[in-house]
Amino acid sequence: MEVEAFQRLDPENFYRRFVKNGVRPDGRELRAVRPISVDVGVLSEERVQASALVGLGSTNVLAGISLQVGHPSENTPMCGMLDVEVKLTPLSSSKFSSGRPSEQAQVLSTFVKNSIVESGALVLTDLAIDDGPFAWKLCMDIVCLSFDGNLADATLIAAMGALMRLQLPGTRRIDDEIFVTEDTPTPLVVREVPVPLTCGVFDGIIIADPSLLEEELLTTHVTVVSTAEGKVCGVHKPGGSCASGKQLNECLQLCQQHAKQLTQTLEAANRIQS
């Protein structure tokens, strides 16, 4: 049977033959991550205050942040807000449809927001304008441009690239209104850099950074979020079968190793554009 026909007719056994030999059909080792590129400031800052374009293999994601002046709630009078919306459109993949946000898009939006806030990367009180009652609202739009698997990693990396690029403009309060001034903007304080790594399980074997074809064959997958210092910020598991404690521990260790290099990539991208 020809290779392409074998892959099409029996993708699971086709993939299994590679995995048994410690490699994958795309040539990667089992725990290898696809090349990652991060470019910041790719959109005009007249339209958005910060942006980042991330390539994870053939998955490409664009994140942009715009700012609005908002009124904090009475329960959190000194806290700003972060709003995240992930957009998955048919232009990036035939697997996505137009119209209302899909469940996958909503899950990714929540994952990105929780990872940023719960890791301590963004402290919402840092968004307060003077002593209140005003604060910045960060509106983060993340658009998938092309899809070849592992959107969880790509969306969070793009979000962090844009967040690390963001500068808050100077303001002046006149009566009950806030006006943006020409003063030098202040870089947003990003206190942590949460880095994701998604791993899947196939025949009990850990597969890092699964492609789209691989995602369809995995029995389960989990995304671990860690910092370069090894602080675990979260574990995201949207579904599938249970992962064993040993498998989760292996994913944690892989993410902690991966976080060091990816943090350097994010920092370098922002140094180049500074």
DSSP 106-136: HHHHHHHHHHHHHTTSS-GGGGEETTTTEEE
Share the mean pLDDT of the chain: 92
Identify whether 218 is part of a domain: no
Residue 139 DSSP symbol: E
Give every CB contact of residue 203 below 8 A, 6+ residues apart in sequence.
Answer: 16, 19
* 197 within a domain of the structure (yes/no): no
How many domains would you assign to the chain?
Answer: 1
Tell me whether residue 184 is exposed, middle or buried, using C-beta atoms within 10 angstroms of its C-beta: 0 to 12, 13 to 18, 19 or more.
exposed
Q: Is residue 245 part of a domain?
A: no
- Per-residue confidence (pLDDT) for residue 105, from 0 to 100: 95
What are the tokens at 175? 């009566």
> How does DSSP classify residue 249?
H
* Domain of 124, in residue numbers: 30-192+263-273
Stretch (H or E) spanning 149:
none
Rounded CA separation 75/159 (Å): 27
Token duo for residue 52: 């980042």
Q: Provide the pLDDT confidence category of residue 237 given band limits of 50, 70 and 90.
A: confident
CA pair distance 269, 86, nearest whole angstrom? 22
Flag whether pLDDT at 47 surpasses 90: no
Structural domain contains residue 23: no
Q: What's the sign of the alpha-carbon dihedral 104, 110, 114, 117?
A: positive
Q: What are phi and psi of 171, to 5 degrees?
A: -135, 160
Q: Is the separation of the CB atoms in 160 and 194 below 8 Å?
A: yes
What does the longest C-alpha to C-alpha distance in the chain come to? 78
Instruction: Provide mean pLDDT across the span 43-67.
Output: 96
The DSSP bridge partners found for residue 75 are none
- In one-letter notation, the amino acid at residue 189 is V
- Is 208 inside a domain boundary? no
Q: Which two tokens stand for residue 37?
A: 């590129």
pLDDT of amino acid 124: 95
Please state the rounded mean pLDDT for residues 64-70. 94
Write the CATH number for 97. Answer: 3.30.230.70
145, 148, 267 from 236: Cα distances, Å = 23, 20, 24
Q: Is the pLDDT of residue 13 over 80?
A: yes
Domain for residue 138, yes or no? yes
- With beta carbons less than 8 A apart as the criterion, state whether 35 and 48 touch: no
The pLDDT confidence band at residue 273, using thresholds 50, 70 and 90, is: low
Q: Cα 129 from chain centroid? A: 27
What's the average model confidence in pLDDT over 67-93? 91
Is residue 37 domain-resident?
yes
184 located within any domain? yes
pLDDT interval class at 1 (50, 70, 90): low
